[in-house]
């Protein structure tokens, strides 16, 4: 583990020397599970929701790190990873499907994200877009095809609140516009990366319909019945982790 004087203040990751390629996830437990896929995996920090490992995936040195739930905390990880040397970040997360035909366990590769994240509005004008690096989309799609994984591309909705509240939401409009899925952190990654010269992408495993009872082809969803801990989701996350790591390998190879 890194000594306190050599660590960054929020996440406690080392101040320098991290590999340039990273997979970022929400759950510290998921970070550990992804790290188990690596050769020579080593935990380098664990503070609050931020748990970070380094290791090697098929010859490519990578970071795996968790950012917790919600964009305001997640962007702190993105900032400190970048300060420590990370140049490419792919988010592996879960999401609720909105577009018809997207099933539990499927992968959504996000071209862009709606900026309803609760933090980037305080950093840059609302008109600034949240978009993936094109090469990240291509690498993720190539890795998904090679894995034979069911996958979809599209725009996702990053929203700060998980539970529905008392205010009307633009869910019907977003569904009509073809938004693929809803999640909580990706637009913050995209805005941070594009404004700091970094490469970012997102691969989201569908774990149900979203929390506002928007309906695709499946039955209506309610938060009381939300269960992301099913085998179909676990299998999708494991498959998605390997796809994200393969995409990092492809991106690293393209840089040389």
Q: Which of 65, 91, 72 is nearest to 11 (CA)?
A: 65
pLDDT 10s digits, 198-237: 999 999 999 987 544 444 333 334 455 688 889 999 999 9
Give the DSSP H/E element, type plus range, for residue 31.
helix 28-35
List the alpha helices (DSSP H) in 108-230: 134-147, 171-176, 186-195
Mean pLDDT score, 37-41: 97
Supply the pLDDT for residue 226. 80
pLDDT 10s digits, 51-66: 999 999 999 999 999 9
In order of their start, the domains of the chain are: 4-254 (3.40.50.1580)
Supply the pLDDT for residue 114. 98
Tokens found for residue 66? 């968790």
Rounded-to-5 percentages of helix, strand, coil across the chain? 35, 30, 40
Cα–Cα distances (Å) from 67 to 23, 26, 49, 174, in that order, read 11, 5, 6, 26
Mean pLDDT score, 187-207: 98
Question: d(Cα 132, Cα 110) in Å, to the nearest integer?
Answer: 7
Mean pLDDT score across all residues of the chain: 92
Q: How confident is the model at residue 4 (pLDDT cuts 50, 70, 90)?
A: low
pLDDT 10s digits, 114-139: 999 999 999 999 999 999 999 999 99
Check if the beta carbon of residue 63 is closer than 8 Å to that of residue 31: no
The phi and psi torsions of 193 (rounded to 5 degrees) equal: -65, -45
Q: What is the pTM of this model?
A: 0.92
Which residues partner with 64 through β-bridges?
A: 23, 53
Mean pLDDT score, 38-48: 97
């Amino acid at each position: 583990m890194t000594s306190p004087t050599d660590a960054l203040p929020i996440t406690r990751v080392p101040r320098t020397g991290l590999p340039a390629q990273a997979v970022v996830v929400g759950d510290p437990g998921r970070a550990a599970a992804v790290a188990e896929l690596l050769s020579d995996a080593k935990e380098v920090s664990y503070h609050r929701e931020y748990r970070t490992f380094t290791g090697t995936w098929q010859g490519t040195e990578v970071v795996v790190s968790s950012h917790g739930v919600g964009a305001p905390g997640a962007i702190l990880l993105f900032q400190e990873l970048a300060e420590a040397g990370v140049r490419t970040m792919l988010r592996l997360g879960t999401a609720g499907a909105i577009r018809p035909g997207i099933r539990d366990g499927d992968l959504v590769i996000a071209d862009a994200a709606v900026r309803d994240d609760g933090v980037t509005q305080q950093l840059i004008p609302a008109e600034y877009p949240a978009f993936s690096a094109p090469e990240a989309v291509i690498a993720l799609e190539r890795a998904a095809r090679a894995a034979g994984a069911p996958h979809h591309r599209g725009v996702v909705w990053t929203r700060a609140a998980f539970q529905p509240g008392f205010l009307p939401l633009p869910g019907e409009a977003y569904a009509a516009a073809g938004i693929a899925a809803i999640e909580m952190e990706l637009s913050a990654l995209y805005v941070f990366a594009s404004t700091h010269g970094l490469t970012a992408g997102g691969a989201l495993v569908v774990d149900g319909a979203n929390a506002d009872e928007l309906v695709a082809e499946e039955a209506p969803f309610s938060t009381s019945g939300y269960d992301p801990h099913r085998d179909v989701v676990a299998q999708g996350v494991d498959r998605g982790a390997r796809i994200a790591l393969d995409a990092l390998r492809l991106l690293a190879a393209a840089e040389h």
